[in-house]
Amino acid sequence: MSKTIIVAETGADLSTDEISRYGIRIVPMHVSMEGKSLDDGAFPPTDVFESYERTKKLPMTSATNPSEYKDMFEKIHEEYPDAQILHLCYSAVTTATYQNSLIGGEGMDFVTHIDTKGVTGGQGTVVIKMAQYLEKNPDASIEELKKEAEYWISRSRMLFFPGDLEYLKAGGRVSNAAYLAATLLGLKPLIEILDGKLVGTKKYRGSMSKVSKKLVNDYLSENRLEKESIYFIYSDGLDDGLKKELEAEAAKYGYDKLKWVRTGCVISTHAGPGAFGMGGIAVD
């Protein structure tokens, strides 16, 4: 096996097949709702939506805590005392994951922390790229791994439409005025991940069906993404028929092998049901 073991958070939204295939270790982020703190991934995201509909209180998300990181790092070190641990972290500016991991890994010279500046599929793509690199280069040094990771992080692109602005309003991420204006005018804000931050960059008008197809055409006609790394993101509630239509739109530009990434509980709490996004690795 590789001399380096990768650790990432549940917020990377990696599939069970990917986790198993590359031996990635996953630590949980958390969702609190109706008086309980639950591990992300331990229950279906639809529970988040049902809780909000029932109580009108938006569940709250929280980072992996320092003791969870400490326990994971120590467990790996006990199993593989000669291995290095490469922690590819959920965007540091969006939550306390990175800071908590530094606290949890204090004094552990066998752990290296890297901020992927990504969430969900953005983080996940960097994790998979690094896992594939390690598979081919099992003896790579930490300095080589840092350089490789920074390359993929710099080229990672991701953007999405929230499924329901009410979730952003309930979470305090948009004002009541902005929510009402967008609702009345039928506007959907496009959120891009820029240097780790979630930034509203454009507004599209129309139904999710209309704006998601326009986004696919706009983005793929103006940008080049690596064919084998493109992915579409969705939260539960996005119409299955629309998914097929979006795949057909992407195929027009030669992207016929895209991957669908289902958002877990953390991202679903912020994006709401029926969200859609896309991402991949930019090429020259």
**pLDDT tens per residue across span 71-114:** 999 999 999 999 999 999 999 998 999 999 999 999 999 999 99
Query: Which residues touch 283 (CB under 8 Å, ≥6 apart)?
Result: 155, 224, 225, 226
What residue ranges in the chain does DSSP mark as E strands?
4-9, 25-27, 30-33, 36-39, 60-62, 84-89, 111-115, 156-161, 187-194, 197-205, 231-234, 259-262, 276-281
- Identify whether the C-beta of residue 72 lies closer than 8 Å to the C-beta of residue 64: no
Share of the chain above pLDDT 90, in %: 82
d(CA 211, CA 98): 34
Q: According to the 3-state scheme, what is the secondary structure of 76-105? A: HHHHCCCCEEEEEECCCCCCCHHHHHHHHC
158 CB burial (10 A radius; 0-12, 13-18, 19+): buried
Tens digits of residue pLDDT in 257-280: 999 999 999 999 988 999 999 999
pLDDT at 177: 42
pLDDT band at 175 (very low <50, low <70, confident <90, very high): very low
d(CA 36, CA 258): 36
d(CA 12, CA 163): 19
